[in-house]
Structure 1
Amino acid sequence: MQSLLSTLRDAAMSRDPWPQTLQRLMDEAGVAGAVLIVTNKTTGTVDEAVFCGLSAEFKSRYVEHYAALDPYSPLLDARWIMLSTCLPEALLRRSEWYNEFVLSCGVRDILGTRLTDTAAHSVIHCVHQRIGRRFYQDAEPLIATITEPLRYAARCHLDRLNGEQQVGDTQATKPAEGGRFFFHIENGAKYPDECGSVFLSPGHAAERGLTIARELARDGDWSGFSVVVTDERGRTVTRIPIESAP
């Protein structure tokens, strides 16, 4: 988990580590593929796509043809949604996208979410499981932990794509000083962190949040709560469930 959070931190700083990020996620979640797709809302076309695993060799086919036929991606929102539960089997049997792209990739099912949305672009992220296998139960708590860091990295990526000042640019940030992050405890009721702590990056803050969650998990009284890490502007960096050991 620590290495995955570190990789997500790198993805927030630069576009180059996205393939490594998706590969690391595949390894941690036990899935056979992962994609990140940036769609241009004005043209309706794919501006950028990163495909890893089963679908990697089919990327150009998706971008050039199947993206326009994809009935699943437009349904994605902030939740994680599984293909097999959101579209009827009868529709999938008639779908060129499903039969000639998804099945041809060797994909049995897809779990996806919309990471971020602006007036100009949307970013979706999906993980794939191969035919003959199911998503592991262990993938659910992992995904819950990394969803907000993924969203943060995607927002930073869109900022760069839209020509705004790059995260990590020496004129935008001062790594030696870092930023202040806050670690709130929530479960309906909220125990706010009024002071916060300074960390070099959101990734470092997320790692600290994970440590706090593990420490609180030793005390059964915090079971069901979450550690919510936010930045100085109140944006959520990550939400980490506190799960007491049995």
Structure 2
Amino acid sequence: MRRDVWPATLAPVRQLLDHGLDLDPVTVLVGENGAGKSTLVEAVALAFGMGPEGGSTNSGHSTRPSESSLWEHLALHREPGAPKSGFFLRAETMHGFFTYLEQHPGHRPEPVFHERSHGESFLDFVIDRSEWPGLWVLDEPESALSFQGCLALIGLLQSIVDDGLGQVLLSTHSPVLAAFPGATIHEVGEWGLRRSAWADLDLVRQQRSFLASPERYLRHLDDERGGP
């Protein structure tokens, strides 16, 4: 892949192409908007054979292709005997994915996801597929989930990993999800990918600082707008 063409112009993408990335039982990517987190997890999901807008391997669900070609330049290496199935969950496209499931029923009844709230349906899907072995790729799932929902998701995914049924790759802005027990955390930015401890993450320090004194941040916004 040419390094002067997006997405290879992003440092994390170049690092992935040049040096690869070992995925641990739970791998978490954190970083600012535009740093390349979603581009990376999307490429891994597509290279694994999952639908670009969410779904299982070989689902084929797509409404408006917008993914990069990065996945075409990745070679995935599995351990002998590792499952070849997987699930890709993107919170912003779950509505369309659930409609796809309704229109293409499988060999068993699906939960009626559209009759649940966004967060409830997201968790219902994980529960429904939790006994299927494979790779779980999740792109910023906190946008569908409350604080308690994030904790519930960690519990569900932890059970899948502990039972030897799956491996997790997760991108997030949530310090709650980034605290996934035993996860390997990579901070994504202009430096590329760097392994970090949870307490050292910018998103953890910033949210701690905000919660300790929100008025300092909000006053700064008023100053930028020229308010009183």
Interval of TM-score (by shorter of Structure 1 and Structure 2): under 0.3
TM-score under structure 1 normalisation? 0.24
More strand by share: 1
Bigger proportion of residues as helix: 2
